[in-house]
A and B are shown apart, each in its own frame.
Chain A
């Protein structure tokens, strides 16, 4: 799994301002009916990007200058709401490789790790400054570096935070949870045999 290592992401950024952006706004529930994740990259923020007649509205995800952005700049409690992985999946498949914000909803943040997307926090002042600088110059290139724990551009830099083990998980390429958990299947079988409810409560 060594080629899974995620240490540094460099690219243009895209700003989605506002607190409490919930998963239904990231991907409206009606797009969850697809039985594979393949097409989800078309739908992030769909209802904010298109009106009911599917006419494009002004939105950063519709802005051609932002099309190659890799880093999302957000505010507080981003990704609150549903546990569905479709939200980070749709962002990833659109092209987002890292998210920088003030805080994240917990399930959203752990779903991001599962997909190998660093969801990192910086201080409120920093994120506001980053957002302002990006809005001023969409071509500004940002780097999220998990080794030295910074988010930086030519204009600014800040210390990033994320739970240490999340950081290690990404840096060491251990975010593929299925492979990790599978290593201990023998212990899992032993525990299964010991639990009261798998044994009719100890008959």
Chain B
């Protein structure tokens, strides 16, 4: 049992009581909702005649189903329109703050919350979306939950939860040029496996993490869930505080000073005990790319693809399935694999630093005619910032489409999707079969710079070989 970690401290502070089931009743400090998983939960409240207990602790935005071309209502897709309308009606009925399309705050829920300064160290956060783990970057316990649980939080501001074990994932050293937070987390998942984190919270620490910006830390925490860990977090520090200070929903004035003092107390103790510890060396991480059908199936760009016969039983089957689906071969290199589509976006990699990094590669280049490349900023704020820096022009000049903010091709619930067996270079977080909208579609996950390099070369490219 871990002792003295940030996980333990926040968990204890938020435990209301132990339930008859043996689970803990955990108070949730910030609840984020979106159009896909909230309508059914609101129905449940109405069926039972329950109010929202603390409407001021829930914030709503719309992201999953919205088009990224023309965002005017009504949407062409009747179901998307019904969902957007349901969210609008529910938030007004239950008096929940709502950042709809057209507002300056709207964005992918995991981009919007942090950039508004709503996510403070020491909080518990919940959202009906598995990538809620993103918010752990701020030193929170941030849980992805199911729809019934969304109803629980609305009605009671609580979840019934089992305690987790804590694994210290220590990453030390400097990242090579061309290697990013995305590569770090793909490497971690590859090493520990997509099931390796089951039952654990991941505490990321070490000098590599310490020097990362908040946006990089969010990328790392975002994909914790892909390694099976329910949550991932990073202890807050001066970088966290500098990011938060001055944001609309961050504490200000004297409260800011008190907040920072408090946040310092919730960090993991020097002598904290963990259930497990692992060490990773940043120097050993190359730009990573997935070749298979789960995010653990990745290689460094200069490696060849693994021989399935050398893998353990379960992994071998998945690898063989992956090779069939992806139409790739053991032993081959990913370098040079032709691609059809490039998607730069999603809550993993659609923030301003991601777009700046991708733009550096795209600048002055031309996407070949056979490639469809889209850039989808994570929020209105990211879009506005990018446009003020002229990033959109860099992308447009290079032949990318510059879109409106939303989840887009991360899960293809809107019109952005792969067709047939198209293969995409994508900065999102999941390469599951069918994830990008076509049952035969194929997804290669990578960093924004690698995706931009794939776009301008029309094929997977080691970004380190491009001069820029």
User: Shortest Cβ distance from A105 into chain B, in angstroms?
Assistant: 7
- Restricting to A127-176, which residues have a CB under 8 Å from any CB of B? 163-165, 168-169, 172, 174
- State the CA gap A181–B153 with chains docked (Å): 9
- State the CA gap A180–B22 with chains docked (Å): 12
Residues in B neighbouring A33, C-beta threshold 8 A: 36, 65, 77, 79-80, 83, 413
- Restricting to A18-70, which residues have a CB under 8 Å from any CB of B? 18-20, 22, 24-25, 28-30, 32-37, 47, 52
A36 touches B43 (CB 8 A): yes
A95 within 8 A of partner (CB): no
**Count of chain A residues with a beta carbon within 8 Å of a chain B beta carbon:** 62
B412 touches A195 (CB 8 A): no
Residues in B neighbouring A32, C-beta threshold 8 A: 36, 413
User: Shortest Cβ distance from A87 into chain B, in angstroms?
Assistant: 9
Closest B residue to A196 by beta carbon equals B262
A29 touches B48 (CB 8 A): no
B195 touches A80 (CB 8 A): yes
B411 within 8 A of partner (CB): yes
A114 touches B16 (CB 8 A): no
Q: A24-B434, A29-B413, A84-B147 are in contact. Are A184 and B130 (CB under 8 A)?
A: no
A24 touches B435 (CB 8 A): yes
- Restricting to B49-92, which residues have a CB under 8 Å from any CB of A? 50, 53-54, 57, 65, 77, 79-80, 82-83, 86
B228 touches A105 (CB 8 A): yes
A114 touches B155 (CB 8 A): no
Closest A residue to B44 by beta carbon equals A178
- Interface code A172-203, partner B: CB below 8 Å = 1, 0 otherwise? 10100110111011011001100111101111
Most buried by A among B44, B128, B225, B254: B225
User: Shortest Cβ distance from B411 into chain A, in angstroms?
Assistant: 5
Residues in A neighbouring B228, C-beta threshold 8 A: 80, 105-106
B148 touches A111 (CB 8 A): yes
Closest B residue to A114 by beta carbon equals B148
Tell which of B22, B259, B437 touches A165, judged by Cβ atoms closer than 8 Å: B22
Closest A residue to B27 by beta carbon equals A191
A200 touches B255 (CB 8 A): yes
B155 touches A182 (CB 8 A): yes
Residues in A neighbouring B333, C-beta threshold 8 A: none
Closest A residue to B120 by beta carbon equals A197
- State the CA gap A172–B19 with chains docked (Å): 13
Tell which of B48, B129, B230, B315 touches A106, judged by Cβ atoms closer than 8 Å: B230
B199 within 8 A of partner (CB): yes
Residues in A neighbouring B377, C-beta threshold 8 A: none
Known: A37-B40, A47-B439, A84-B36. 7 other contacts (CB 8 A): A20-B318, A107-B146, A107-B230, A185-B53, A188-B25, A197-B120, A197-B259
Residues of A within 8 A of B (CB): 18-20, 22, 24-25, 28-30, 32-37, 47, 52, 75-77, 80-86, 89, 103, 105-107, 110-111, 114-115, 163-165, 168-169, 172, 174, 177-178, 180-182, 184-185, 187-188, 191-192, 195-198, 200-203
- What are some 30 contacts across the A-B interface (CB < 8 A)? A24-B430, A24-B433, A29-B435, A33-B77, A33-B83, A76-B195, A83-B130, A84-B128, A84-B147, A85-B37, A85-B147, A106-B228, A114-B146, A115-B148, A172-B20, A172-B21, A177-B159, A178-B156, A180-B21, A182-B155, A184-B156, A185-B53, A188-B16, A188-B158, A195-B29, A196-B122, A197-B120, A198-B29, A200-B251, A201-B259
The 9 residue pairs across chains A and B that have the minimum distance between CB atoms: A165-B22, A85-B146, A83-B130, A83-B144, A33-B79, A201-B258, A181-B156, A35-B39, A47-B439
